[in-house]
Amino acid sequence: MQPPRFWHRPPGLLSTLLTPLGAIYAAGTARRLAKGSPVKLGVPVICVGNINAGGTGKTPTVIALVQRLQGMGHNPHIVSRGYGGTIGHVVQVDERTHDAAMVGDEPLLLAAFAPTWVSHDRAEGAQLALQSGADVIILDDGFQNPSLHKDLSLVVVDAARGFGNGKVLPAGPLREPVVTGLSRADLLLSIGPEKAQSHFLATWSQPPCPHLTGRLVPLQTGMDWQGSRVLAFAGIGHPQKFFATVKDLGAEIVKSEALEDHQPLSQSLMLRLENEAMLLGAQLVTTEKDATRLPDEFRAKVLSVPVRLEINDWSALDVALTNLF
């Protein structure tokens, strides 16, 4: 389900009417965190989370952190809830035997970069990662989950959308109030182009923790997109960002299809998209994450556009990482 439009507009009548429910939701989050008994491991735990519901860029942030830590000589493991997956027990993701329906699309993608564990009980998953040789755990999401002690918490936000109307679910897009959430964060990372970053700071002012900025950049694969006719589809938190990326590469988007976040790419859906692309003389294109959910027979028919996070200044994060060990 795409988020309601009023979440990203100045507060109006509907968000005002829903504000009391938002207060109840925020109180429930605060109560859950206060009653938690976080397990402390013998290795650092880094949480990559958000205050917003939905996608903010956590997956590319986790990938960037993994590569940074590996470059420092560490052996990071990733622990994820495996949103959308059907496996009900703790498992290390294996790309040869698991698919997105079993473990979720994000863990399947992340497993290509570091050992990745899917566990509804984050502490149990982290302990198994520790037993398997991890010297640092990266918690994919879980900023509002109290089961595991976090040595470093990095909150990620989309610079263009910011914190929406600043209200808590269902009155707005937030899991908890901005001030409350950022008071627990060690670092804030806003992701977006320079214009969006300027808008973010103008709207939300200087955060109470060190603020990093970054942007998502298409990975150079040797593909020449200039003038290519494409039918682009995406089932991520903000599909329009992907469509803008494809357009910036020089492709001509003859049709774009915004799917729900994590939407299954069923046989019937893919056949429809394939037929539409053929009629339009276009190539099917999707995100790297969506590509993990493609039916096997469509993997050779759909091109993906991988993106990577480029952080403008790593210094504050490098200091924080160094201090963990």
Binding region for ATP: 52-59
Residue 168 per-residue DSSP state: B
Which residue type is seen at 268? S
Residues shown for the chain = 325
Q: Extract the annotated binding site.
A: 52-59
Contacts of 279 (CB under 8 A, 6+ apart): none
Between the alpha carbon of residue 49 and those of residues 52, 64, 151, 205, the distances in Å are: 9, 14, 13, 20
CA–CA distance, 193 with 118 (Å, rounded to integer): 32
- Sign of the CA dihedral running 90, 93, 94, 97: positive
Q: Which residues of 125-150 are buried (b: 16+ CB within 10 A; e: fewer)?
A: bbbbbbeeebbbbbbbbbbbbbbbbb
Q: Which two tokens stand for residue 126?
A: 């982290």
CA–CA distance, 257 with 267 (Å, rounded to integer): 16
